[in-house]
Each structure stands twice: as C-alpha cells, then as structure tokens.
Amino acid sequence: MLFQTPCGHNFCLKCFQKWIGQGKRTCAKCRSTIPSKMASQPRINSTLVSVIRMAKLSKSNVAAGPLKVYHFIHNQDRPDKAFTTERAQKAGKANAASGKIFVTVPPDHFGPITAENDPARNQGVLVGECWEDRLECRQWGAHLPHVAGIAGQSNHGSQSVALSGGYEDDEDHGEWFLYTGSGGRDLSGNKRTSKEQSFDQKFEKMNEALRVSCKHGYPVRVVRQVSLFVVLVY
C-alpha cells in the first residue's frame, strides 16, 4: 500500500510506519517535516493505488492479446443445420450450436405443435416424426434441451421428456412407460457419466416440473431414442 507525504513523495506504508517508529518525523527524501497527525494516522493514497492497479490490468490484457468479441446470432440468421463456431472446444456436434428454430411456439409451450406454428411446412410436428439427433429435434420444438431428460420449470411445469433408458427402473412399453425422473447420482468431479444410484431422488427442479404437469394435467411431449434416430411420440 502506498502512502504520500505533504511534500508529495510516496512511500510504502509499512516502510513509512517503520521510519516513524524509529522516532523520525521528516521525509526521508527531502527532509520536510511530517505533521504529527499524519505520523500517528497515516492514510494510503487511494488515487495512486487505483492508477497502479489499472496499469497492471492493462499490461496483463496486452500480454494476453486482444479480447475476442463474440456476436449474438439471431434465430433468422442461423443456418438450417447445427453448426460449430470458433468457440467450440471439440469437433463434430459435441460443442455444436443449434440451427434455426423452425416453429414459432414459445419455449414454455405445452402440448402439440400445430400447423399454425409451423410456417416452414404448414403441417405442425406429427406423431412419429424422426430426426437425426437431438439438435435437430430441438429445431422443431419437440424437446428443447440438447440432452435427454426433462424439459421444464419447477414452478411452471414440464413441456417435454426425452427417454433414453438412463435408469434401470425405466420401462418403455410403447403406448405407456414408467419414467424414473432425474437425480440421485453422484456426478461430482469426473463422475459425470456415473450410472450408480447413490441417494434418493427429490421432487425439486426438473422432477418438480414433471410433478406440476401431472398435478394440473398439462400435456407432455415425449421423445424416444430408437437406435441412431430420435422418434417423437405423444
């Protein structure tokens, strides 16, 4: 921390206190008298400290190179297929960005996607439609998250569920299915793909969203993963 004497000279606060502790009451550089109040209660030069910090920050930014600017891409400007940008850390679709959303339903839309919300084909999303992957499935509004599981909000309800057989108690019988929900696994550290159930699931977050839809009778869109394709089934 820096301290400035009335004569305009700057000193390290710790060094100044050591100087005063030796019984000296004059500036070490010009021998000007230091007021007794300043000697007993030295105050740092906050302006000088701010300038030094800004100079250090500016130097570190120059050393790191110019900052990259990433622009937001509006839906109408997105390509028809999923794409990767220079920000992608992995090849392929692992870090791909979603292509254009073709339907006009809001993200919290419940139930079927009808023809009036399908300006591209004017037919809506039909039962049994297939897509190459979940990114393409997202583009048609069936299931917005890029991963399997529940899509929804705990205080609003669940709009869709993507089945992938991730839990051993999941059962899919075509016309009906048993869905376990999400959670109950230790995914800390490098256990992101853990399939061992380590604790009970709770009605919170996505599970609570699905319960809200069940309580109020909201329709839930269902997407199934069959072989290499994703098949939509209501």
pLDDT digits 0-9 by tens, 146-174: 888 899 999 999 999 998 877 777 888 88
Q: Give pLDDT tens digits for 101-120.
A: 999 999 999 999 999 999 99
Q: What is the pLDDT of residue 231?
A: 58
The 10 Å Cβ neighbour count of residue 144 is 20
Task: Please answer whether residues 175 and 124 qualify as being in contact, where contact means their C-beta atoms are separated by less than 8 angstroms.
Answer: no
Q: What class, spelled out in words, does domain 104-234 have in CATH?
A: mainly beta
Query: Residue 6: exposed, middle, or buried by beta-carbon count in 10 A (0-12, 13-18, 19+)?
Result: exposed
Same fold? 2-64, 104-234: no
Q: What is the value of pTM for the model shown?
A: 0.63
Is the predicted pLDDT of residue 28 greater than 60, yes or no?
Answer: yes
Q: Tell me the C-alpha distance between 12 and 203, whole Å.
A: 57
Question: Quick one: average pLDDT of 115-131?
Answer: 93
Question: Quick one: average pLDDT of 128-144?
Answer: 91
Enter the tokens of residue 85. Answer: 């940008």
**Sequence spans of domains, the chain:** 2-64, 68-100, 104-234
Is the predicted pLDDT of residue 188 greater than 70, yes or no?
Answer: no
Q: Give pLDDT tens digits for 41-58.
A: 776 667 767 777 787 777
User: Confidence class of residue 2 from pLDDT cuts 50, 70 and 90?
Assistant: low
Which amino acid, residue 187?
L
Question: Quick one: average pLDDT of 61-86?
Answer: 76
Superfamily of domain 2-64: Zinc/RING finger domain, C3HC4 (zinc finger) (3.30.40.10)
Q: What is the pLDDT of residue 123?
A: 94
Task: Please answer whether residues 113 and 129 qualify as being in contact, where contact means their C-beta atoms are separated by less than 8 angstroms.
Answer: no
Q: Tell me the C-alpha distance between 234 and 225, whole Å.
A: 13
* Secondary structure of the chain in HEC code, one letter for each residue: CEEECCCCCEEEHHHHHHHHHCCCCECCCCCCECCHHHHHCCCECHHHHHHHHHHHHHHHHHHHCCCCCCCCCCHHHCCCCCECCCCCCCCCCCCCECCCCCCCCCCCCCCCCCHHHCCCCCCCCCCCCEECCHHHHHHCCCCCCCCCEEEEECCCEEEEEEECCCCCCCEECCCCEECCCCCCECCCCCCCCCCCECCCCCCCCHHHHHHHHHHHCCCCEEEEEECCEEEEEC
Task: Please answer whether residues 99 and 79 qualify as being in contact, where contact means their C-beta atoms are separated by less than 8 angstroms.
Answer: yes
Look over the chain and give the mean of its residue pLDDT values, rounded to a whole number. 81
